[in-house]
Amino acid sequence: MEYRIAVIPGDGIGPEIIGEAKKVLDRVGEVYGHTFHYEEVLMGGISIDTYGVPLTDEALETARKSDSVLLGAVGGNVGNSRWYDVAPNLRPEAGLLAIRKGLNLFANIRPAFLYNGLEDACPLKKEIIGPGFDMVIVRELTGGLYFGERHTETVNGVRQATDTLVYNENEIRRVAVKAFDIAMKRKKKVTSVDKANVLDSSRLWRQVVAETAKDYPEVTLENMLVDNCAMQLVMNPGQFDVILTENMFGDILSDEASMITGSIGMLSSASLNEGKFGLYEPSHGSAPDIAGKGIANPIATILSAAMMLRFSFDLDKEADAVEQAVREVLACGFRTVDIMAEGMTRVGTEVMGARICERII
């Protein structure tokens, strides 16, 4: 089979980690008889430097015509980067919001899994970790506070800022369906997270999710307030299977969940539309402080590529092979600096990618 992938290396460590993910995909192609065609496009700070905007219409159209998109990372140091001394709609992250909206990528899927051998990297006590945890956070991505009307004005001589949080039932229902579909392939439990004791949008969210749950009688649904969920993630992470929530809550909770795995450099993500099309990226940022040093952890990007094989291309066997290769490399004691521990073998970005490629057979 042949697949067209729009590749967005982005900024910081993006080009380095994308390079290793492409090597892994090419290895999958060699072993399983597939061909992956890559077309590189610019987004983020490098696009600002080249075109003056974080995402051009041409780049968006290239992504739209592909079978999927593989993204490294965008952005830089907010405090000392020329990219941030501009209006918000011209900053690197605006390109990410624009491509999500332009490609109708309304559902963000972020696994949080504690690998064997990385227990010491987890900041939680061993008695809390227990036998480990394996959860997926499904975050609505194109609605809510981040996309609502906003403005800043002066009222009676006082500066005032307004951000609007809006959801309609169709936006809620379609992401709920994604969450329940994923739960059906896992442990059949959905935890819907909201702030229904305060917000009207959350009360509608809870109603629509309950309606959707009726179509999935095998799945257990529980509701949880977002502040309680934040506490439960560090008190008993093993209780969760699929967490479903809105845009801003999901942004915060998915970062919290990623850190209890021991390193955000290990975590993949997918942003999906209503079909098979998706944008796949690591959960971490561009880490400009280590860019070019060859020490970035490429595993999150490699696992994002595995998610692409599974969700966009229906290549489950190939995705399993990549994920198994990652487990084997970690079991053999190879570690990048962010997950390094006593007695392990420290390797750089390229060596980690090569070790994973060797085990795809």
Residues belonging to the active site: 146, 195, 227, 251, 255
Encoded tokens for 129: 């970790």
Bridge partner list, 70:
7, 280
- Could you tell me where the beta strands, DSSP code E, fall in 49-156? 68-73, 107-113, 134-140, 150-155
Report the DSSP pairing between strands 278-282 and 268-272.
Answer: antiparallel
Encoded tokens for 338: 């962010």
d(C-alpha 6, C-alpha 234), whole Å? 37
Report the DSSP pairing between strands 2-10 and 134-140.
Answer: unpaired
Q: Which contiguous run of DSSP H or E holds residue 161? A: strand 158-163
Q: Terminus-to-terminus CA distance in the chain, angstroms? A: 18
Total length of the chain: 361
Those residues whose C-beta lies under 8 Å from the C-beta of residue 212, and which sit 6 or more positions away, are: 173, 176, 177, 180
d(C-alpha 35, C-alpha 38), whole Å? 10
d(C-alpha 319, C-alpha 309), whole Å? 6
The candidate with the shortest Cα–Cα distance to 303, out of 348, 346, 262, 270, is 270
d(C-alpha 42, C-alpha 61), whole Å? 12
Encoded tokens for 155: 């009222």
